[in-house]
Copies of this chain bind each other. A is one copy, B any other.
Amino acid sequence: MGDRSRTTTVARAASLDVVPRDTVGQGQALSLCQEGGLLFAGRHLLIELWEAEHLTSEPDIRRILQDAVAACRATLLSIHLHVFSPTHGISGVAVLGESHMSIHTWPEHAYAAVDIFMCGSLDPRKAVPVLKAGFRPKRIQFMEVKRGVMDADDVVC
């Protein structure tokens, strides 16, 4: 794959809501989430931005992704952006210590698709105000999916 593929070794980041950053990777159980009696791997948020702005600006999208990651108190490992032609749509993926955040823009339809998956108890919904301020969508929709919902019998608490 040459320079198109990279592998790094890092600690899976535990939730900053539970433990301080310097204990990252010290306990695998911290990469799960509990809510309402459910034990699950993480939250996956699918966000639709309509009548949005700044969908062709690579510097803007890079900054908004960085700010969204920071708002969630997540650990940014790397960002990869691709600019498409002829529409100047952009695909951006941020790889996180707590999973990933992506955006794909269709500027010709003033539309962007965002997904944010965060394991542990980090809350991807904290990215929404950053996305709203950055892309100024007139309409926004989101759907939250709990990923990896486990039976209580599967896990020793």
Taking beta carbons and an 8 Å cutoff, which residues of A are in contact with B?
Answer: 1, 4-12, 25, 28, 31, 41-42, 44, 46, 48, 58, 62, 77-87, 89, 91, 93, 95-97, 99-100, 102, 104, 106, 108-109, 111, 113, 115, 117, 119, 143, 145, 147-148, 150, 154-155
Min CB distance A51 to B, Å, is: 10
Give Cα distance in the complex from A7 to B111, angstroms.
21
The answer to whether A25 and B100 touch across the interface, beta carbons within 8 angstroms, is no
Interfacial chain B residues near A99, Cβ < 8 Å: 91, 102, 104, 113
Contact of A86 among B28, B83, B95, B150 (CB under 8 A): B28
Contact of A79 among B4, B102, B108 (CB under 8 A): B4
Q: A31-B106, A58-B7, A147-B48 are in contact. Are A41 and B81 (CB under 8 A)?
A: no
Nearest residue, chain B, Cβ from A83: B9
Min CB distance A87 to B, Å, is: 5
Nearest residue, chain B, Cβ from A49: B148
Contact of A93 among B42, B97, B100 (CB under 8 A): B100
